[in-house]
């Protein structure tokens, strides 16, 4: 399994870097046989000569796997799985679910959260079958579309049932640049096959699409990511569909652009609810597997046949006996027809003696023990898998409860803030009318009073690079991970508001209006200073969190702040509710010494007592 190490491994969500693709075939009847054949061939490439046409479980030094078939409600279900543990890059798990109804679900994950490249197995299936996402065929290439395909493109972009992304590149009237740009699109989108489709528009199609979609247009020499369910008339919705600017495409290395697009596609696949067909199929297969396992455990182990070499088919079993007073040379053989015949039959012995009975009994016990141990190992693995799944769900519930509590508190604070601001606006408008300044009283605010928010968290870092107060000392790749999931720029805007609050706090500190820290400033904000609601700020972490996970909150600072070049930072801003990622911004207030505030971390929610 190929892997691309992109850094910031520990901070990335494992599922956001896994490969997971859902596809439908135009030829449902060919799905089961094609998946079976390709999985068998793929195993052969790995040196595992396992025929996937029969149900089986197997294990070897290089890995373990299974092929399982079930029929439910007239549909044939297939699960092919391979687990490759013990590699230098962790454990790789590949699972393919398929149904005779015509769908295929391919997932590949890594235990260390490493980036999973497009699997060879997925590419082979896309070559062998006409696989589609909504109306678009999934191919291992980049399409070139002209004006004639615009109706199909707009329909595809608006389709809410589409699972994957659509990457659209716009071009301009520069023939010398067109071919080179088109070739680079293939390089940049190499890690999205099966997860997204890539389309290059001709200059005419780029212009025509702008006329039709307005807010959702793709400018020339840019690359835009379209999520399912585009709303063409909704300006707010256009914020979901981010694009890479001409400057970004021209200046960033190919590997960086490829990794960003690959991670965005994987993050979207991880966040999108699993198709109901896959959920029902996995449950049916799991139930059948569990039932079969319980049947094996409930059924008494069959007595194995113990056959010793050289057995003679005679009608009488003879046992060697020795009388205490009988010399060896006068020993006689005494027939024990009834008792010994039973022993002979049960133990399948030719000659009955203490040694042969003991040997046969031990062999039988070993075979029984081996069979039972195999069943116990299977049951143990099943229990561990289910326990891990339960633990993950418990973690999700705990973190969701924590985030919900934060949301409820923040909503209450925002309602109070909105009530106060609305009252202030009404009062100011009334005063303006009293002054007969009706244009100012009733008109919309001028554009210059609109907040110029950055389009991404990385752009925010570029803006504060020359700031007099704020200094970013963290890892830019952690920040890039936020941009991958921040489709509506909620985190980018919240981070900008947090930075504005820190600047305003520094201004109030300089003006002598606040000397008790950021939290006190936000809760008792002086008139004339801006700041976010106090609910979005955390002054510290709990003692339990710091004892158990305090090491995660040690971030880099310059030597003039601390000679160790690191500092524990507990004060933070809650940026946005984005699933379990829900990013945070941690900072260290050093205004009293260096006159700076150091932002040591901007990234995903760190581990606390609610997460694992």
Distance between CA atoms of 268 and 256, rounded to whole angstroms? 18
**Residue 9: is its pLDDT beyond 50?**
no
Tens digits of residue pLDDT in 83-141: 988 778 889 999 999 999 999 999 999 988 889 999 999 999 999 999 998 777 888 78
Instruction: Find the range with the poorest average confidence among 28-37, 254-263, 391-400, 538-547.
Output: 391-400
Instruction: Find the range with the poorest average confidence among 131-140, 252-261, 402-411, 586-595.
Output: 402-411
pLDDT for position 334: 46
Q: Which region, left, alpha or beta, applies to residue 565 given φ > 0 means left and ψ of -120 to 50 means alpha? A: left
Distance between CA atoms of 278 and 104, rounded to whole angstroms? 9
Distance between CA atoms of 305 and 364, rounded to whole angstroms? 8
Mean pLDDT computed over 203-222: 94
Q: 490-510 vs 457-464: helix axis angle to the nearest 10?
A: 30
Q: 476-485 vs 457-464: helix axis angle to the nearest 10?
A: 140
Q: How far is CA 190 from CA 30, 252, 356, in A?
A: 27, 16, 67
Distance between CA atoms of 239 and 349, rounded to whole angstroms? 81
Distance between CA atoms of 497 and 503, rounded to whole angstroms? 10
Mean pLDDT of the chain: 83
Shortest CA distance to 167 belongs to which of 135, 198, 213? 198
**Residue 365: is its pLDDT beyond 80?**
no
Report how far Cα 220 is from the mean position of its chain's Cα atoms: 32
* Alpha helical stretches, state H, 435-513: 438-442, 457-464, 476-485, 490-510
**DSSP collapsed to 3 states, 421-437:** HHHHHHHHHHHHHHCCC
Distance between CA atoms of 91 and 80, rounded to whole angstroms? 17
Per-residue pLDDT band at 246 (split at 50, 70, 90):
very high
DSSP string, 278-332: HHHHHHHHHHHHHHHHHHHHHSPPPPPP---TT----S--EEE---TT--GGG--
Q: Which two tokens stand for residue 270?
A: 């991880």
Q: Which two tokens stand for residue 225?
A: 């990511």
Per-residue pLDDT band at 255 (split at 50, 70, 90):
very high
**Residue 303: is its pLDDT beyond 60?**
no
Residues 6+ positions from 238 with CB-CB distance below 8 Å? 215, 216
Burial of 248 (0-12, 13-18, 19+ CB in 10 A): middle
Q: How far is CA 388 from CA 180, 385, 392, in A?
A: 48, 5, 6
Per-residue pLDDT band at 410 (split at 50, 70, 90):
low
Residue 426: CB atoms within 10 Å:
10
Per-residue pLDDT band at 52 (split at 50, 70, 90):
low
pLDDT for position 295: 75
Q: Which region, left, alpha or beta, applies to residue 489 given φ > 0 means left and ψ of -120 to 50 means alpha? A: left
Q: Which two tokens stand for residue 354?
A: 């203490």
Instruction: Find the range with the poorest average confidence among 13-22, 175-184, 579-588.
Output: 13-22
Assign 474 to helix, strand or coil.
coil
Per-residue pLDDT band at 310 (split at 50, 70, 90):
very low
pLDDT for position 312: 45
Residue that wins the pLDDT comparison between 513 and 336: 513
**Residue 423: is its pLDDT beyond 80?**
yes
**Residue 333: is its pLDDT beyond 60?**
no
Mean pLDDT computed over 381-396: 74
Could you identify the residue written with the tokens 């581990």?
A: 607
Task: Please state whether the predicted TM-score (pTM) of the whole model is above 0.85.
Answer: no
Residue 314: CB atoms within 10 Å:
10
Distance between CA atoms of 478 and 473, rounded to whole angstroms? 12
């Amino acid at each position: 399994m190929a892997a691309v190490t992109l850094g910031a491994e520990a901070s990335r969500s494992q599922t956001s870097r896994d490969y997971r693709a859902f596809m439908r075939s135009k030829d449902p009847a060919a799905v089961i046989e094609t998946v079976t054949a390709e999985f068998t061939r793929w195993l052969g490439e790995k040196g595992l000569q396992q025929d996937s046409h029969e149900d089986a479980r197997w294990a070897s030094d290089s890995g373990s796997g299974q092929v399982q078939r079930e029929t439910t409600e007239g549909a044939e279900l297939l699960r092919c799985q391979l687990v490759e543990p013990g590699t230098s890059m962790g454990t790789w798990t590949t699972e393919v679910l398929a149904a005779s109804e015509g769908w295929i679900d391919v997932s590949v994950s890594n235990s260390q959260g490493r980036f999973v490249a497009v699997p060879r197995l997925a590419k082979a299936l896309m070559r062998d079958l006409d696989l589609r996402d909504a109306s678009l065929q999934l191919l291992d290439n980049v399409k070139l579309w002209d004006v004639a395909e615009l109706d199909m493109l707009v329909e595809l972009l608006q389709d809410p049932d589409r699972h994957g992304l659509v990457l659209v590149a716009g071009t301009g009237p520069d023939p010398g640049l067109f071919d080179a740009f088109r070739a680079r699109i293939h390089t940049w989108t190499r890690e999205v096959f099966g997860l997204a489709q890539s389309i290059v528009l001709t200059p005419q199609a780029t212009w025509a699409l702008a006329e039709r979609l307005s807010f959702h247009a793709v400018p020339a020499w840019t690359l835009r990511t379209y999520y399912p369910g585009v709303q063409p008339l909704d300006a707010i919705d256009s914020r979901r569909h981010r694009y890479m600017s001409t400057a970004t495409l021209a200046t960033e290395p190919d590997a960086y652009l490829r990794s960003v697009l690959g991670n965005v596609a994987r993050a979207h696949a991880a966040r999108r609810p699993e198709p109901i067909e896959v959920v029902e199929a996995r449950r049916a297969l799991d139930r059948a597997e569990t039932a079969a396992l319980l049947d094996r455990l409930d059924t008494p182990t069959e007595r194995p046949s113990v056959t010793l070499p050289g057995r003679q088919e005679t009608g009488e079993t003879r046992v060697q006996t020795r009388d205490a007073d009988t010399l060896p040379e006068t020993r006689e053989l005494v027939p024990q027809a009834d008792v010994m015949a039973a022993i002979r039959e049960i133990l399948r012995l030719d000659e009955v003696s203490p040694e042969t009975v003991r040997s046969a009994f031990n062999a039988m016990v070993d075979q029984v023990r081996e069979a039972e141990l195999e069943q116990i190992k299977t049951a143990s693995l099943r229990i561990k898998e289910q326990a891990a799944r339960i633990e993950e769900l418990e973690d999700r519930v705990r973190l969701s409860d924590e985030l919900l509590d934060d949301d409820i508190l923040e909503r209450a604070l925002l309602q109070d803030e909105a009530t106060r601001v609305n009252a202030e606006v009404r009062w100011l408008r009334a005063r303006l009318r009293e002054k007969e300044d009706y244009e100012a009283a009733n008109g919309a605010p001028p554009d210059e009073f609109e907040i110029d928010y950055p389009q991404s968290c990385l752009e925010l870092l570029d803006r504060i690079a020359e700031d007099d107060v704020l200094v970013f000392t963290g890892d830019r790749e952690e920040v890039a991970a936020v941009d991958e999931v921040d489709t509506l720029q909620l985190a980018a805007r919240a981070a900008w508001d947090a930075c504005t609050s820190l600047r305003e706090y520094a201004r109030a500190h300089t003006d002598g209006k606040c000397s008790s820290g950021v939290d006190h400033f936000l809760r008792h904000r002086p008139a004339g200073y801006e700041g976010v609601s106090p609910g979005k700020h955390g002054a510290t972490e709990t003692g339990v969190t710091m004892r158990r996970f305090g090491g995660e909150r040690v971030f880099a600072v310059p030597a003039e702040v601390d000679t160790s070049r690191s500092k524990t930072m507990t004060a933070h801003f809650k940026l946005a509710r984005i699933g379990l990622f829900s990013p945070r911004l941690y900072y260290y207030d050093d205004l009293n010494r260096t006159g700076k505030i150091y932002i040591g971390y901007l990234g995903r929610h760190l581990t606390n007592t609610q997460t694992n």
